[in-house]
Amino acid sequence: MAGIIDVLLARRSVPAAMLEEPGPDAAQLQKILTAGARVPDHGKLAPWRFIVFQGDTRISFGKVLADIVLKKNPDAADKQLEDERQRFARAPLVLGIISSPVEHPKVPEWEQVLSAGAACQNILIASNGLGFAAQWLTQWPAFDKDVADALNLGESDKIAGFIYIGTARNSFEDRRRPELDEITEYWTG
């Protein structure tokens, strides 16, 4: 296994549509989720939770998505509905990360939301560290009230993302990365 700095310095996403089997097995999934829960968390509030979509449940959730699309647009094309049914089947495993901030006298909501973002990033890094490729997506289902209801989300819950995990089908060029001197300054007083 590559060292953590190697994983971090090579980290990149692989589009969900380019992910194929194998995905993580049960033991690897436990490691990925454990890494996701091992994030900085002011107040030890665990203001996030995870929803696992794997095997047939990816398709059953896709049917939920297709029904929501059809409800909003009865004229939706068959192709669009089929794409929704297959949306979560693009990768062997999809993890929904829910940001669940609570009212707290000392820990602002912003910090709790950041902790959920850290959980997403830990899940990406853990997946890469185990040799898998991954992509963090939101897309329309992350912002839709009917989807939130279907997932039994509470009033203050938000979907931080859906992380698609699998094996990269093929390699392709990395994107240009930010120049450090454009985003970094050294405080000199």
- Note the residues at the interface with ligand FMN (CB under 6 A): 12-13, 135-139, 161, 175
Least distance CB 1 / ligand FMN (angstroms): 20
Closer to ligand FMN by Cβ: residue 55 or 140 = 140
Least distance CB 105 / ligand FMN (angstroms): 28
Asked whether 171 and 133 are in contact (CB, 8 A), the reply is no
Least distance CB 188 / ligand FMN (angstroms): 31
> 3-state SS of the chain: helix, strand, coil percent to 5?
45, 15, 40
Asked whether 167 and 112 are in contact (CB, 8 A), the reply is no
Closer to ligand FMN by Cβ: residue 110 or 187 = 110
Q: For the beta carbon of residue 17, count every other beta carbon within 10 angstroms.
A: 11
Closest CA to 123 of 91, 101, 151: 91
Asked whether 120 and 136 are in contact (CB, 8 A), the reply is yes
Element spanning 11, H or E: none
Least distance CB 135 / ligand FMN (angstroms): 5
Closer to ligand FMN by Cβ: residue 4 or 17 = 17
Least distance CB 163 / ligand FMN (angstroms): 9
Closer to ligand FMN by Cβ: residue 56 or 173 = 173
Transcribe 35-53 into DSSP letters.
HHT-S--TTS---EEEEEE
Closer to ligand FMN by Cβ: residue 112 or 135 = 135
Closer to ligand FMN by Cβ: residue 13 or 54 = 13
Least distance CB 175 / ligand FMN (angstroms): 6
Q: What is the DSSP letter of 69?
A: H
Closest CA to 37 of 107, 159, 123, 102: 123
